[in-house]
Every structure is written in C-alpha cells, then in structure tokens.
Chain A
C-alpha cells in the first residue's frame, strides 16, 4: 500500500511540475484566478515574505504591516488611535503623542503611507502617514516599527493630499482637502468663495535624525486639494496636486462641486519657493500646533506647542505655481518613474488624462496661458496634454507603475484594475476587483524604481467574499501577479480598518535594520530602574512613585505596603530583559487604564488611583516564561490617613 501511495504522490508531483511549465496566463473558470495561485502566494513556515506592505488603517487610525505575497499580518502599528494592547496613548510616555491644539485626540483617519527615499529610490528608513481629520503627519521609524514623531498641520482641514515625500525626503508634503478661513475666524459659511484658503504644507525632514518641521505653507485658492505626488528625475523640484471643487461650493458638494468640466492639477515648483523662503520671503503668522516627539532613549514623548508658521502667497513668487486643467474632479495624481508623465485620475470620467512635464515647461516658457485663477496662471489643456487613456472603464482613482513602461489604474465604479502602456496609452489588460477598488499599490510604485512584481488592490466593498460576520464585514485587499503580460489574481486577504492606501518595499531593505531589543545601558528614562539596586518606592504627598523592574519571572518589588486610598500611584516599570522577543506586561486590578506591554530594555508608566482598602494583586500579562503564572505581586492599600509606612520587598 505504501508503495502505491508513494507512486501516486510521485505522479502528483510530476503533474504539479508539468502544470508549472504551462504558460502563466492560463486561467481556470474561476474568473481571473490562476490555477497555481496557491503555491505562488504560499510562504513556507519559518520563511520570510519578499515584500513588506504598509497598509493604512483608514478609520482605524493605525497602520498595519503585511507580508507579500502571503498577505500575512505581522503588526498593527498604533499611530493616531489609542491602542490598549500596546498602551499607546494610555501610558504616561505616549500620551503626549496624541496631543493637538484641540487637546488630546485619541483617534484619526489614517490615509496615505509613503516610504522615505534617497535619490528617488526607497531607502526603508521611515514611513510617513497622514491623519486626515485633525490634520497631522506621523513618522514611523522602521528600525523599531513604532511611531516616533507626529506634527500637527495648522491652517489645514481634511489633511488628504498627504503625506508624500520628495525624491531625497527633503520634504513630506501635506495638502488640505477642506479649505478653511486662514486664520480661522467667525464668518458666514456662505462667504466661502474667494475667502477660504487651501494650505499646502511642506514639512522638512532632517537628513540625520528625521526630525520634522514645517518649512512653509503655500496659501492656495479655496479649492479641495485631493491627492499629490512628487516630481522625480527631470521633474524633481516640482510637486503636483489634484484639485476638485474649483467651483468653491460650500453646500451639497456632490452636485455643486461637480459642475466644472475640468478642475486643475496644481504644479508647484517647491525649489523655487524654497529659494524664496531661504532669502527671507514669506510671512510669519501666529499659529498653534503640536509637535510631538518620542525619544528612543528616554522612552518618553514630549509635546511642544509651536506658535508660528511661515506662509507664502503663491502670487508673490512668480513662476512657482501653475494650474493644469484636468477633467472631472481628479482624485489620484500620479507621476511615472521617469518623472515625465503626470496622470490625472478624473474620478467622474471614463478616461485618464496624462500630462507631459516637458510640454508643461514649454508652455510655461512660451507663456501661453488660458487666463488665471486668483492670479495663478492656467495653462492650456491641449498644450500640456500628453495623451488620454480611453479605457472603457468608469471612475479612475489611482495609478501606479511597474517600472517596465506599464501603468495600472484602479476604476472604482467599474470595479477593476486596468493595465495600460505609458506612451501609446493603449489598454493592455483589465481584471475585475471584488468590489469597487479604491487605491492600489506596487511596491516602490511611487519611486524611480518600482518592484514591478505584484499589485495590491484595496477594495472599498467586501460583501460576500469571506464568511459573513454580521452587518459589518472585514475590509479586503487583493493581490495580483503583474510579472506577465496579463495580470493574474492570486489572493484575497482581509485588512485592518479601511485600507485607504499602501506603500510596499523589498523586505531586504528593511529587515536587517530592525532592532531586536532596546539597550538597557542606553535607557535614559527619568524613572528607569536599570538594576535591582535602584528598586524603591517614594512618596511625595499623595503621589507615590514605584520604581519597579521585571525579569523572568518576577517583579521587583512584588510586595508593596503603605499605599493609601486617595493616593496617585505611578508604576514606572522597566523590563530588564535583553533577549529578543521577551516582552513583559503588567496590569493592576481596577486601574482605570490599559495594561503596559514593555519591550526588553524599555520603561513604561501607568497610573493607579486605588479607591478601595484591601490587598490588590498585579500580574504579568504577556506569557513570558514557564513561570509566567507566578509572575505576580500584591499591593496593600490602607485607609486614607492611616500611618502605615511605605515598605517594599521581593523574596522576604
């Protein structure tokens, strides 16, 4: 029997081998799904994916990290939303990260991750992502996969045409979707037209430490600035923004902002404005916005309120800004790897408009303008047009490139990805999406050097694609192989929150830099306990500070007495481990906060305000070791006003 089964297995193996030799484009009756899709997304246990995908969580406020081609979820990085699992925004150290000019904001709508670049290629140091609702830009440091900086954007609302980086990460750019009065003031909404402004913010990124600072804000006419992308190669130094609502409507926008046949792509020569600003141009205006920085050595964030921002009136910098007429409320604004073509994805049309950077320069040179808008010259549509992609699809949203002369565009309404040739504008292939795709991502697709192997489509509607989970179903992404002439659907995978947008990168660029632990010897936390000799409990009036350490498999101290009802007890807990993947957690019964999850070498703090007399336990929440269950302790709480002295111990 054994012999037969091995024979059968052998035959199956042969069959698999033979089917592997067949042309890649072979499809089965199951739509676009290829016959050997499973083996092409399967990553053997213990082996690593080829790409990282950083997928925005949309209304979850976070950013998730996936592997491609497997679609496996590795981590949800807390960015704009409190995360009780990781104590993000709950512990004393990270609360300042969510501070804004409106106070503590525990949530945002996270949209467009973009990876830092050097010479137009992804360098894998940082991922930037924008908070749309309370305008902010966050920076995730890929050596630790943690959010280490968040800067609020003043004079902005609906921070949507963000957070895209220039070719050498000179700037990360944040443009406003909702124009507002600048400065904010009490005025009738109906007086929007001509009075509201759209701020495009250029945030400089320090080449050494990545520190962010708003270099200048360009105060543009009150349109809606939807998406943006940097020029690259020859067009490096320019930035392109799509606009809609050039009608400047302020009510029933779905109708009133859809009346103009053409809106604009704004071409901004940021190098020119940078020069203007460096020579003292622009105007400093009072502002109030938060700049929050997490320090890896103190393991603590600080929030600083900044009181001033430099604004630039575009009409005062001749030659800095032009409008390129682009049909039908364009959404995505995408630049091909060479930097020559600027694609306007006119979301209410069937066609894609492609502008030529060379033609744009020529038109500017010959000053052939079609009037102006608030003093900003409008170029003639025909003069800048490189071509139109007649797709037959409906509702183009976003285009990325494979680096081999092809472009891939999502069509929301006709629910498909369309592959077309950059230059001939001919459609090569189209594949359906399930359902109503929004954005798509090719690793490196927003750079000079895309890794043109896969495209991830992020869908807006899921319906019946997975097992049902009541009225609210998961959001979904789909992976296509684009290495051949035809796209091939390989995989559906669920996502965290709404996958608005994503950035991908070859894993090799990132994974070697990923830290395993925080060095205890570099821990400069104000309340760190880096050795057992430093363990102590100190009282300062009603405030009690517990300097506690944790290591397999105990807390030090694990018995504390002398705490009284009405005290405010700060537990500063340091993980003394220096081994990879040995975090410890800690939680206290009745604490009105989350647990702490503390990485090796790190210190975190939670506050407990005991309200009841008794002896109350705390314990480790992360299964750390064989003696994890024993990793626990007690705090004795005496009545307010009792005279029990502070006492702490371990093993006595």
Chain B
C-alpha cells in the first residue's frame, strides 16, 4: 500500500480519539480554590476535572446570574455523529486512494471543525452574557454596559476573582493531527503520483 494511503487512513482514524479524550478544558483559578475548578469538555459530555467541579462552578456563577451548565446539549448528539460520518468518509477516501480526494477531505474537516469552534464560541458567549436580570451581583464595564463573564475561547483571561484558562486537550490534538495527516497524505499522494508518471 502506498504511504499516502496509510497516512490518510491514520488521519481518518485519529479523530475517533475524541471518544476517549476530552476536546477542551476550562479551568478556573481563585485564591479560595487551591485545587482549581475545572471542566473537561468531551465530544458528548461535560465532565468534572475533579469530583463535583461543575456543581461548584454553577454555584459560583449563580451569584452573577449565569445559567447552570446544562447536563446535555444538542451538540452532544450531533458532534459524535459528525465525527463518525467524517471518519467513514475518510476511510472511504483512503480506500479509494485518489490523492485529490485527500485534499477534499482535509478541506471538509477544516470547515467542520471551524463550525464546531464557532458553535462553541456562540455557546460560551451566551453563557457569559445571557445573565439573569435578577442576578445577586451585577457588574458593569467602564463604559456602563453589563459585564460579561465569557471564558476565553483559547487562552487565559481574568474574570473578577477568577483566572480562567481555556485550552484544547488531547482529543482536540488528535483531531488536529488527523486533519493535518489528510493534508500530508495529499502532498505525499501527489508526489507518489508524479513519480509514477
């Protein structure tokens, strides 16, 4: 088998690691939390980094009127189906072995992942800004607008007494690597094709 097809096969399979490892992690540090509060975001679940963390994040956040982190969101059904479908397509593409299709799979994956990130951002924005008007504590920005508590999409940000970190986790790295493998497979396949000609 050509090397490019093997790489493409690996690329198609790697995103399945999302079913084992978290996609993203949000960690909240504060002086009162020597062990920070954390939430691992899986493709189909929100999980405590340490026992009861989500409950405790909700308890903190209710003071500023943020909604509880839901037990389940529609994405938990859609994302796993999306990953299975794109993996099946990837496997089919690898089996066919046409390197041009490797590129198309790569582009599709970039688009799908970007859509996922945008969706995540929109949820975060709603979570951080759609506040209960009867919130116990109301804060405003310097310009008088209500302060939002949206965690960063990527990176570290101070929110009141908390320092929030938001970073991709092993699942996301596997997805990213899988996507890159698609592109690598395309170039390898192209080269192999040229050598044959």
Contact = CB atoms under 8 A, between A and B. Distances in A.
A631 to B, nearest CB: 12
Nearest to A627: B136
B63 A578 contact: no
Interface stretch (B51-59, B68-76, B103-111, B143-151): B51-59
B149 to A, nearest CB: 16
B52 A627 contact: no
Contacts of B137: 626
Given A551-B59, A626-B63, A627-B63, A578 B52 contact: yes
Interface in A620-638: 626-627
B136 A578 contact: no
A463 interface: no
A568 interface: no
B63 A579 contact: no
Contacts of B52: 517, 578-579
Nearest to B62: A552
Contacts of A577: 59
Interface in B100-127: none
Interface in A481-538: 517
Interface string A564-593: 000000000000011110000000000000
A579 B136 contact: no
Nearest to A579: B56
A556 to B, nearest CB: 14
A327 B56 CA distance: 64
Interface string B30-56: 000001000000000000000110011
Nearest to A577: B59
A132 to B, nearest CB: 40
A309 to B, nearest CB: 44
Interface string B67-94: 0000000000000000000000000000
Interface string B129-150: 0000000110000000000000
Size range of the interface on A? under 10
Contacts of B59: 551-552, 577, 579
Contacts of A580: 35
Nearest to B55: A578
Contacts of B51: 578
A577 B52 CA distance: 9
Interface in B9-38: 35
A122 to B, nearest CB: 28
Nearest to B60: A552
A619 B56 CA distance: 22
A580 B51 CA distance: 11
A551 B62 CA distance: 12
Interface string B150-177: 0000000000000000000000000000
Contacts of B136: 627
Contacts of A517: 52
Most buried by B among A551, A579, A626, A627: A579
A552 B63 CA distance: 9
A367 to B, nearest CB: 64
B56 to A, nearest CB: 5
Interface in A229-271: none
Nearest to A552: B59
Contacts of B55: 578-579
Contacts of B63: 626-627
Nearest to A581: B32
Interface string A530-563: 0000000000000000000001100000000000
A613 to B, nearest CB: 33
A551 B59 CA distance: 9
A62 to B, nearest CB: 29
Contacts of B35: 580
Nearest to B35: A580
Contacts of A552: 59
Contacts of A626: 63, 137
Interface of B: 35, 51-52, 55-56, 59, 63, 136-137
Which 9 pairs, one residue from A and one from B, show the smallest C-beta to C-beta distance?
A578-B52, A579-B56, A552-B59, A578-B55, A627-B136, A579-B52, A626-B63, A578-B56, A551-B59
17 contacts: A517-B52, A551-B59, A552-B59, A577-B59, A578-B51, A578-B52, A578-B55, A578-B56, A579-B52, A579-B55, A579-B56, A579-B59, A580-B35, A626-B63, A626-B137, A627-B63, A627-B136
Interface of A: 517, 551-552, 577-580, 626-627
Given A579-B55, A580-B35, A626-B137, 9 more contacts: A517-B52, A577-B59, A578-B51, A578-B55, A579-B52, A579-B56, A579-B59, A626-B63, A627-B136
